[in-house]
Structure 1
Amino acid sequence: MKRFVYILLSFALLANVSSTYGQIGVISPQEANAQINIQSDKTQRPVVLDTRGGYKDYFRAHVPTAHHINFGTLRGTDHGVPVQYLPDDLTAALLRRAGVDKDRMHLIYATGDVLPNDEVLSATMVAYVLEKFGITNIQIVDGGLAHWQKLNLPTTQEYFGNPSGELPTSMNNDIGIDVVELLKRKDQPGTVLVDARPHNEYIGEDDIWLRKGHIPGAISFHWARLMEQDNTHKFLPYERVKEQLEAAGLTADQEIIVYCGTSREGSLLRFYLKHVAKYPNVRLYEGSWKEYASLKQYPTETTPN
């Protein structure tokens, strides 16, 4: 009887996933756990991806059946500019090796807690890469591992390796934008360029960047404004932030181009606007500030817009 009730509950949770979140979005830990356990055939279970940069964190504890894919392995230095996305053939090989598959759901998580912990950005960056490579069933576990453990859901230290996956035959390159197209688009009517970094970096009060400030015309909207204060991996409902977004000029009728320092912060802001707020036209400038700052022929500014 208990097993029957569990199965009914699991199916109810699965129905809630498809009706509430769609194919790319956010999933609760309880729903994710049900997804992992409902399929006895491991080839049909969701692909669970632990995207944390610290491999020792994976060794300490991770979600059952989670395959560790360090987000940093998807980027490297190119023409002297650090943390650029790898060529597509190399990325595709890494994704297939992680079990990413065109026919399966992908559950992605990192960790959370409070700033300066920002590993949720690893989850949204990997989600962005999967979406770019044509994957259409992606769910980020809301609250990450921190919330998972708070709910006393199971963790393990056992390693898990997915079988090699099969990627879609076509990519979704339109979700990104390069610097050439950025410069053509950013000043067009109906286009908003938004910087997802902390405000001090936006106005050039930092010790990080080669050049200070932001791309001329960009507005500032720090990604953390979209997350719960006590868990930076937990997304605020759209109704809680709708007024803030609209006050900043980020509305569904605009073409929105997002960037940040290296594209991780921008990936979260894009994920939220596109897949939580359901804005139709949101793109990520992949090179972001680390690339733009190296292109000294292009101007910068420090005055807020």
Structure 2
Amino acid sequence: MNPFQLRVSCLLVAFALSTPNMARADIGIISPAEAKKLIEDADPAKRPIVLDTRGGYKDYFRGHLPSAHHLNFDTLRGTDNGVPVQYLPDDLTKALLVRAGVNKDRLHLIYATGDKLPNDEILSASMVAYVLEKYGVENIRIVDGGLPEWTKQKLPVTQEYFGNPKGTLPEKGKPEIALTVDDVLKRKPGTVLVDARPHNEYVGDDDIWLRKGHIPGAISFHWARLMEKDNTHKFLAFEKVKADLEAAGLKADAEIYVYCGTSREGSLLRFYLKHVAKYPNVRLYEGSWKEYASLKQFPAEKDAPKK
């Protein structure tokens, strides 16, 4: 490195250190204690955008993180062509995100509650994180352990409402992280298709779905296997689940397509693989089984694929 290159490198490092939100630009998880420090930063410009993604607005009224803006995850979905809970068109989604204060230049902290199965809203947090990422936001953290861990650590909650000023979205999004049914059907040989639902739904033992079973060729890996049993908002360390993931065929060098029932469970599995395990090539089939089950021209199966 010549003297000029060295000077430029030093200036870039100094600039990054002087702009901590940019230096930390990443998608991942954050501890409640670290989240609290950021929320209480003496400089308001450096405080994160905090999004409470719970579907129950009364839960928000009962108590939430300081400066949390309530963004009900399900406002980002609606019925389309008869299929429920499909993602909204881009113009509507962008309007909702701007209204929630999503900002291309800020860090976003996302959380929910409901720490025990089957009532678990970590999936709302990962779904909103996915939507933000799809629309180009690059600085996102899910609060590890969610509100249950926050209150367990006796950190402050409030009932005061908080509304963000209107946000500004990045000019360029990442639509390529989303899959359509055609993408799934035309996937290349060797692509791993994984169903993130509970195993009983994968094999068709449920009273939920229009058709029973799973997309042919899909393997089963329930998202909850990645979370602590006593708090399903708390992520297990990658070292604890690496062997299970690889035994299922979910390896870092694979191209992985994820789906579930409505895309929330799939968003959690994708979040873990992409942003905790750091797998480079993981995408989400947004329509998931709710859409596929309605397309009766395509086959379903109930048995696991033969290895």
Same fold (TM over 0.5): yes
Change (3 A) 1:44 1:163: farther
Give the match for residue 211 of structure 1.
211
- What residue is the counterpart of 1:30 in the other structure? 33
Q: Distance in 2 between matches of 1:130 and 1:304?
A: 33
Asked whether the 8 Å contact 1:250–1:256 carries over to 2, the reply is: yes
What residue in structure 1 maps to residue 266 of structure 2?
266
Tell me the number of residue pairs that the alignment of Structure 1 and Structure 2 aligns. 286
1:59-208 counterparts in 2 under 5 A? 59-185=61-187, 188-208=188-208
Contact 1:112/1:143 (8 A) holds in 2: no
Deviation of 1:112 after TM superposition, in Å, equals 3.8
Q: How has the CA–CA distance of structure 1 residues 177 and 39 changed in structure 2, closer, same or farther, with 3 Å as cutoff?
A: farther
Structure 1 residues not aligned, in runs of 5+: 1-13
CA offsets, 1:70-128, max 9 Å, x none? 00000000000000000000000000000000000000000142211220000000000
* Aligned match of 1:304: 304
Aligned-pair distance for 1:254?
0.4
**Distance across 2 between alignment mates of 1:121 and 1:192:** 22
Alignment-mate amino acid for residue 183 of structure 1: L
Do the aligned partners of 1:105 and 1:138 also contact (CA within 8 Å) in 2?
Answer: yes
For residues 244-283 of structure 1, the aligned pairs below 5 Å read 244-283=244-283
TM-score, length-scaled by structure 1: 0.92
- The corresponding residue for 2:242 is 242
Distance in 1 (CA, whole Å) between partners of 2:243 and 2:164 is: 42
SS in 1 for 2:69: strand
Which structure 2 residue ranges, 5 or more long, are not aligned?
1-18
CA RMSD after TM alignment: 1.5
Preserved contact between residue 124 and residue 271 of structure 1 (Cα < 8 Å): yes
Q: Runs of 4 or more off by more than 6 Å in structure 1?
A: none
Offset at residue 38 of structure 1 (A): 1.3
What amino acid is aligned across from residue 274 of structure 2 in structure 1? Answer: K
CA contact (8 A) 2:115 2:121 kept: no
Partner in structure 2 of residue 294 of structure 1: 294
Hey, what's the Cα distance between the residues in 2 that align with 1:273 and 1:24? Answer: 12
Q: Structure 2 counterpart of 1:163, which letter? A: P
Aligned-partner residue type, residue 28 of structure 2: G
The residue type paired with residue 67 of structure 1 is H
Distance 2:141 2:221 in 1: 24
Distance 2:42 2:215 in 1: 48
Cα distance per residue 1:166-201 (max 9 Å; x no partner): 00011100111101111111xx23310000000000
Give the whole-Å Cα distance in 2 for the aligned partners of 1:116 and 1:211: 21
Letter in 2 for 1:28: S
| Residues in 2 aligned to 1:236 and 1:247: alpha-carbon distance in whole angstroms | 17
Q: Which residue number corresponds to residue 223 of structure 2?
A: 223
CA contact 1:49–1:108 (8 Å) conserved in 2: yes
Please state whether the residue corresponding to 2:234 is helix, strand or coil: strand
**What amino acid is the match of 1:33?**
K
1:57, 1:97 → 2: CA distance?
Answer: 21
